[in-house]
Amino acid sequence: MTDNEKLQQFLENAKHMVLAVTLDDGMPWAVPVKIQEQHGRVFEWDSKLDTVHSQAIAGHPDAAIVIFTKDQGNQFGFYAKGRAEEVLRRPDGYGRYRFTARETWINDQTFTKRKVELG
């Protein structure tokens, strides 16, 4: 199985990701979010508009995500750099956010970081 095939299978089962953003003071901030949709290089989630990460995205759209699993000696990680944005604001205080990956990598039990392409 190719790295891209492994990644596609992994992402089909992924439910959560860690989103990393930069705060106004330059400090990093990472938070887990539930993946609502994923298509190719695009990952979407819902968050309250007043959360730290939602507010950070407005001023600093550069972001990164990580999705990782480890069980019984097997592990697989997906890492991406890209941009995040608010795409929908709802009246209930939540918004839909989108991360679009520019560069993507995987890593597994071989501990070898490998660049991959998402469709």
Domain 3-114 of CATH type 2.30.110.10: yes
For residue range 16-53, what is the model confidence (pLDDT) as tens digits? 999 999 999 999 999 999 999 999 999 999 999 999 99
pTM of this structure: 0.94
Give yes or no for a contact between 76 and 69, defined as CB atoms under 8 angstroms apart. yes
Query: Domain residue spans in the chain?
Result: 3-114
Q: For position 118, what pLDDT does the model report? A: 87
For residue range 70-119, what is the model confidence (pLDDT) as tens digits? 887 789 999 999 999 999 999 999 999 999 999 999 999 889 999 999 87
Q: For position 83, what pLDDT does the model report? A: 98
35 in helix, strand or coil?
Answer: coil
